[in-house]
Amino acid sequence: MDTTELIRAYQTMRTIRLFEETVVTLVNANEIPGVTHEYIGQEAVATGMCAALGPDDVLTSTHRGHGHIIGRGADPGRMFAELMARVDGLNHGRGGSMHAADVSLGIYGANGIVGAGAPFAAGAAWASGAPGAAGEPTTDRRVRRVSVAFFGDGAINQGVLLETFNLAAAWELPMVFCCENNGYAVTTPAAASAKVTPSERATGFGLAVREVDGMDVEAVYEAAQWAVDHARSGRGPVFLDCRCYRFVGHNTGEHMLGLQYRTHDEIELWRGRDPITAVADRLRGHGLADADLARLDDEVQQHIDAAVTFARASASPEPATAMDYMYATPTLTTATRWGHR
Ligand SMILES: Cc1ncc(C[n+]2csc(CCOP(=O)(O)OP(=O)(O)O)c2C)c(N)n1
Ligand SMILES: [Mg+2]
């Protein structure tokens, strides 16, 4: 990454981190209902992956989706409002943390069902007109749109994801499977639920595979550029195994349970590899002074403060409107097919 790209990556990662820390405060203050799944520690993955995408590309996200959505450029104010169930939320407060979407940015939704985002991404890839999908003979196999499916290591044990690997490979879909391999599914270590690694499984389905240091935004960006180009040029889907770690509990409420599934030493070891600190060190190597970094941090703080103010000022939806935005209006074709008049 050149200095400009690295500064942009730093700003994105700081924004995701501060957004998430603020979410924790708002959940604890009951300003956000329920609990959410924080992305703290994994910022380099969403940031590096999204930096490699073009404007027409699309992504699907997970229960731990705030980082993907902000990394792709969604407005933090509308995202806070969504989490606070306000009318100015990205989805008018109907989606919340686990079903936030912004189709205008190609964000086809976070998803509370583990593994369920990948087939949406495959559908978008199929609809992109990829020659392998349409079966049309052509010499120009480049496609306009690449789909990225984010998911965790635990999701690989869901049948739907394995089925999606299979069809994506068979149809040579322009897709990137971005596995955020943080080593745990809630409290279960990956080794307790699979004999082989995610990469070994993906290889068996015929996906092109690369293992990536998911704590290093430049490494993710470089791998993501390769993966997106591979998919866009019609050479088929790619699986990126991004090794990373969540610094906090599975969700905002976990600390109340006193669980002991990760050792203090393990957490501290990974915290020592904080992806944001690493980028700050590299920016110093690019000639930035501590004062420059402090100014960037201040800008992020002001951006997030303004976003919270915006969300707090937004109204709650009227109860009578509860069903608004919940169903698509049937088109003539679907209405006829399903017998509607
Ligand atoms: C189909 C399904 N099964 C179980 C759950 C409950 N659940 C929520 S998150 C999670 C763990 C997912 O682990 P992973 O895919 O590694 O993502 P991570 O939480 O580590 O980011 C589980 C089992 C769910 N939401 N959906
Ligand atoms: Mg996991």
> What are the tens digits of pLDDT across the range 1-34?
999 999 999 999 999 999 999 999 999 999 999 9
Q: Provide the pLDDT for residue 194.
A: 95
* 3-class SS of residue 89: coil
Q: What is the CATH number of the domain that holds 272?
A: 3.40.50.970
**What is the number of domains present in the chain?**
1
CB-ligand 1 contact for 317 (6 Å cutoff): no
In this prediction, residue 138 carries a pLDDT of 52
Cα 71 versus chain centre, distance:
8
The domain of 275 spans: 3-337
Nearest ligand, CA of residue 149? 1
Largest CA distance in the chain: 67
Task: List, in order, residues 6 or more apart from 310 with CB less than 8 Å away.
Answer: 77, 78, 80, 81, 88
Residue 139, pLDDT score: 57
Q: Ligand 1, atom 4: nearest CA belongs to which residue?
A: 114
Q: What is the mean pLDDT of the chain?
A: 93
Q: pLDDT tens for residues 133-164?
A: 555 545 566 777 999 999 999 999 999 999 99
- In terms of C-beta density within 10 A (0-12 exposed, 13-18 middle, 19 or more buried), how is residue 327 classed? exposed
Mapping DSSP to helix (H, G, I), strand (E, B) and coil, where does residue 184 land?
Answer: strand
pLDDT given at position 242: 98
- CA–centroid distance, residue 154 to ligand 2 (Å): 5
Taking alpha carbons only, the member of 214, 207, 67 closest to residue 224 is 214
Given this model, what pLDDT does residue 144 score?
A: 79
Q: H or E stretch including 242?
A: strand 238-243
Lowest mean pLDDT among 42-56, 124-138, 163-177, 202-216: 124-138
Whether residue 330 has pLDDT greater than 70: no
Confidence of residue 341 (pLDDT cuts 50, 70, 90): very low
Neighbours of ion ligand 2 (CB under 5 A): 152-154, 182, 184
- Is the model's pLDDT at 226 over the cut of 60? yes
The per-residue pLDDT for 340 is 47
Q: How far, in Å, from the CA of 178 to the mean position of ligand 2?
A: 12
Q: Is 185 in the pocket of ligand 1 (CB under 6 A)?
A: yes
**260 alpha carbon to ligand 2 midpoint, in Å?**
16
